[in-house]
A and B are shown apart, each in its own frame.
Chain A
Amino acid sequence: MKKLGSGNIAFSLAILYLLILGAAAVTAPLISPRSPTAQDLSRRFAPPGRDFPLGSDDFGRDILSRIIHGSRSALLVGIVSVAIATTIGMAAGLLAALSPGAVDNVVMLVMDSLLSFPTVLLAITVVSFLGYGLLQVMIAIGVIYSPTFARIVRAEALVIKTEEYVEASRSLGSPMLKVVFRHIVPNLLGKVIVQASVTFALAVVVEASLSYLGLGMQPPAPSWGLMLKDARNYLVQAPWLALYPGLVLAFTVLCFNVIGDTLSERLNPKVR
């Protein structure tokens, strides 16, 4: 009981943090003290202070403004790529679970082979085929994380398919599609949501990684990964360049993971 209580506090804090981050992303141009790309070459590497709350970078750009604007691409990449991963994964998972063995085998073989590649390597491959940029990154991440969804959905759908209420509905003559959307999908959504929150965190990290490698957002666009890339040469001289975007990135990932954990505990009858 006590454990659940502390989990609740962490859960609430995580939700609160993400709400603030989401609000910051939506209102970025209004709340940023400066333009995220405006250079002030006379004030490069200004430490955190009155003019630059979190300091300025190697071009004299305001780090706070860049973090705020960077949250837009981070969250956008998270939302869109999770949506892509969920759509592909659910379609593949349902198809595999409800089709005859041969189709099931082929679909899951494709999904498993995707799963066998290291994430960032696969992302680099996809991006080098589609070109650099935000959209390409979102598609890459979406494709990479779809197999996890497919596996979960297939496993759940195989169980739900044999439940009595599904068989009853089928025997009453409901068309397959209706059964799928009325009975099967609602019952596996819980698991999918848990996976989505974890994937969201991973997507934010992959976006930052790709940008760090120079394959994602193109400069001077504000992106946390790009900020970290710029900062790596100045770790000793101006640690604030890496510190703040790094912290924000770490917190964001942590919060999504806390939410994922809490949800999976609550939705799992065995733990409850």
Chain B
Amino acid sequence: MKRTAWIVAALLAALLALPGAALLAKDKVLNFALSGNPDTLDPHKTAGTLTFQTLKSIYDTLVEADQKEKIVPALAESWTISPDSLTWIFKLRAGVVFHNGEPLTARDVKATFERVKAKETASPKASEFAAIASTAAPDDATVVITLSKPFAPFLGVLASGWAAILPKSLIDSGNDFATKPVGTGPFALKEFTRDSRIVLVKNTNYWMKDLPKLDQVVMNIIPERAVQVQGLMAGAIDAVEFVDTEDIKVLQASADVQIDKSLSALILVMAMNCTNPVLSNAKVRQAVNYAIDKQKVLDVAYGGGKVIGTFMDADNAYYQDYTGLYPYNPEKAKSLLREAGVTADTSFEMVLPSNYDMHVKAGQLYQEMLTKVGLNVKIKLVDWPTWLSDAYTNAKYDFTVVGHTGKLDPDGTLGNYGNKSRYVRWDNPVCLSFITRAAGITDFKTRKRLYDQALEIMAREVPFMYLGSSYRYKAYRKNVSEYRMTPKLDTFDFRWTDVK
């Protein structure tokens, strides 16, 4: 008797649940696969590309880059620059509201930039805002930013994720943006369960008309590539961050999956620690460059791409081709090492970030190639936080492998190289002076001449083994349209994305 009652109850519950399920099915939901957790949801306290890939949907910036890399209005409708390029006046768009319902005013912008610059925020990107002398809000819709010196990269900085605008009221009340993000972006955070998923829901008051098209974006955190691929083929996942070349053959067999190929703005490198007594010798670093078959490593570890010879992504307007300087030549590498007196007795430690399969793979290829020219290299895998603190911040490594994400302005890419504070610990005041001077010049040609010289020094002195820019294979199911990426910054832009 009791059992029958249970069955009836279950049936009733199922019937009641049906209309709900049908309603839910009408919602346009994009199931996305992300390969890791964002370290925080506070845009001013991180430098991680993976993090900005999520934050792009939650926050907006004053200006932004369109699909052709042109800087266009976003929260700021228009702006004027004084003849001495020191005073920038931004007119804010009317009718923009934050996720908590407060309207956007110039005071929010002022509070935001003061927060980024504040010491206690400890923003890893604070130096990019150093040129801001003061921010003023004469009325609700006008922001006046005064720079202490001409700063050409300024619009590029303002268009980057780390210049996201936060509401003043929550900054003042000490809101924890790391877990409770509030912005003006196309989506608001509904749920963030570490190692599981991030759920973003549509901002119905978004300032762009009829956008976003999706009702929900569910970012499933799936570190295993094979699981992402299977999910995509089975339809549990609509789009993935990127796929490996080895997976392409499998995905092509599925009629439902579309693969787009493009060249990323990544600068893939093997960094060399210039404070290592052996690696401080430029000859040894050149030998390392000669020892690596760059195209092969790009093909095997990174799914192909274009080889570079200096610290700039291959498709960049400022790129200079120095690949002919130290081409693959193991014999030449051996003779340079002999000249420098380096033998297999000197051992080097190659620190690899274990969460990046492709860097670990590249590291193993490098190790084999370096062994062939007589170097003794040992691999040490570390997790990402350890890599950031030990290798990137404290330079506890001899070799390390990583990729630098593209930037909207070359100053973002080159900033400060030549200064010993950067993780390669390379000391070159001449190179540094070119980079610093270029930041103050707005004329493209004059600026490029300075960067050309900096890039040439970097190409000859090789504090890195420059590998190249890799292809990016974006995979999604054919019912997904307009799966866009922000150029250079490698973040996803889901505003126009739609699912059928």
The number of residues on chain B lying at the interface, defined by a beta carbon within 8 Å of a beta carbon of chain A, is 25
Tell me whether A265 is interfacial, beta carbon within 8 Å: no
**B364 and A219 form a contact (CB under 8 A):** yes
Proximity string of chain A (74-115) to chain B, C-beta cutoff 8 Å, 1 when within and 0 when not:
000000000000000000000000000000000000000000
A-B contact count (CB 8 A): 54
A-side contacts of B296, CB under 8 Å: 41
B-side contacts of A220, CB under 8 Å: 364, 367-368, 379
Q: Interface on chain A toward B: helix, strand, loop, or mixed SS?
A: loop
**A233 and B246 form a contact (CB under 8 A):** yes
A237 with B361, Cβ < 8 A, contacts A218-B379, A219-B381, A232-B226 known: no
A-side contacts of B379, CB under 8 Å: 218-220
Tell me whether B209 is interfacial, beta carbon within 8 Å: no
Q: Closest residue of chain A to B299, judged by CB?
A: A41
Point out which of A37, A232, A236 has the most chain B C-beta atoms below 10 A from its C-beta: A236
A-side contacts of B361, CB under 8 Å: 58-59
**A39 and B368 form a contact (CB under 8 A):** yes
Proximity string of chain B (371-389) to chain A, C-beta cutoff 8 Å, 1 when within and 0 when not:
0000000111101000000
Tell me whether A214 is interfacial, beta carbon within 8 Å: yes
A-side contacts of B247, CB under 8 Å: 233, 237
B-side contacts of A44, CB under 8 Å: 300
A235 with B365, Cβ < 8 A, contacts A41-B300, A218-B379, A218-B380 known: no
Q: How far is the CB of A19 from chain B (nearest CB, A)?
A: 33
CA distance A47 to B363 in the complex (A): 25
CA distance A37 to B378 in the complex (A): 13
A-side contacts of B363, CB under 8 Å: 219
Tell me whether A132 is interfacial, beta carbon within 8 Å: yes
CA distance A38 to B364 in the complex (A): 11
**A233 and B368 form a contact (CB under 8 A):** no
A-side contacts of B246, CB under 8 Å: 58, 233-234, 237
**A232 and B381 form a contact (CB under 8 A):** no
Tell me whether B460 is interfacial, beta carbon within 8 Å: no
**B354 and A232 form a contact (CB under 8 A):** no
CA distance A11 to B247 in the complex (A): 43
B-side contacts of A41, CB under 8 Å: 296, 300, 365
Tell me whether B249 is interfacial, beta carbon within 8 Å: yes
A-side contacts of B300, CB under 8 Å: 41, 44, 58-59
Contact of A214 among B224, B249, B354 (CB under 8 A): B354
B-side contacts of A234, CB under 8 Å: 226, 246
Tell me whether B422 is interfacial, beta carbon within 8 Å: no
CA distance A26 to B265 in the complex (A): 49
A37 with B368, Cβ < 8 A, contacts A132-B381, A219-B360 known: yes
Contact of B226 among A38, A58, A59, A233 (CB under 8 A): A233
CA distance A201 to B361 in the complex (A): 30
CA distance A30 to B367 in the complex (A): 24
Tell me whether B484 is interfacial, beta carbon within 8 Å: no
**A233 and B244 form a contact (CB under 8 A):** yes
**B364 and A132 form a contact (CB under 8 A):** no
CA distance A233 to B225 in the complex (A): 6
**B250 and A236 form a contact (CB under 8 A):** yes
Tell me whether B357 is interfacial, beta carbon within 8 Å: yes
B-side contacts of A132, CB under 8 Å: 380-381
B-side contacts of A214, CB under 8 Å: 354, 381, 383
**B364 and A235 form a contact (CB under 8 A):** no
Q: Closest residue of chain B to A45, judged by CB?
A: B246
| Interface residue ranges of A65-79 to B (CB < 8 Å) | none
B-side contacts of A236, CB under 8 Å: 226, 229, 250
Proximity string of chain B (333-377) to chain A, C-beta cutoff 8 Å, 1 when within and 0 when not:
000000000000000000000100100110111011000000000
CA distance A59 to B246 in the complex (A): 12
A-side contacts of B244, CB under 8 Å: 233
Q: How far is the CB of B350 from chain A (nearest CB, A)?
A: 10
Q: How far is the CB of B297 from chain A (nearest CB, A)?
A: 9
Proximity string of chain B (465-481) to chain A, C-beta cutoff 8 Å, 1 when within and 0 when not:
00000000000000000
A59 with B381, Cβ < 8 A, contacts A41-B300, A232-B224, A237-B250 known: no
Q: How far is the CB of A246 from chain B (nearest CB, A)?
A: 15
CA distance A58 to B225 in the complex (A): 15
Q: Closest residue of chain A to B244, judged by CB?
A: A233
Proximity string of chain B (201-237) to chain A, C-beta cutoff 8 Å, 1 when within and 0 when not:
0000000000000000000000011100100000000
A39 with B365, Cβ < 8 A, contacts A232-B224, A233-B357, A237-B250 known: yes
A-side contacts of B250, CB under 8 Å: 236-237
Contact of B365 among A59, A233, A237 (CB under 8 A): A59
Q: How far is the CB of B328 from chain A (nearest CB, A)?
A: 13
Q: Closest residue of chain A to B381, judged by CB?
A: A214
CA distance A18 to B367 in the complex (A): 34
A-side contacts of B225, CB under 8 Å: 233
Q: Closest residue of chain A to B253, judged by CB?
A: A236
Proximity string of chain A (169-191) to chain B, C-beta cutoff 8 Å, 1 when within and 0 when not:
00000000000000000000000
A-side contacts of B380, CB under 8 Å: 132, 218
Q: How far is the CB of B370 from chain A (nearest CB, A)?
A: 12
CA distance A57 to B365 in the complex (A): 13
14 A-B residue pairs with Cβ-Cβ distance under 8 Å, sorted by A, are: A38-B368, A39-B368, A44-B300, A58-B246, A59-B361, A59-B368, A218-B378, A219-B379, A220-B367, A220-B379, A232-B224, A233-B224, A233-B226, A237-B249
Mark A residues whose CB is within 8 Å of B: 37-39, 41, 44, 58-59, 132, 214, 218-220, 232-237
Q: Told that A37-B368, A59-B368, A214-B383 touch, could you supply 9 new A-B pairs with CB distance under 8 A?
A: A38-B368, A39-B368, A41-B300, A58-B361, A218-B378, A219-B363, A232-B224, A232-B226, A233-B226
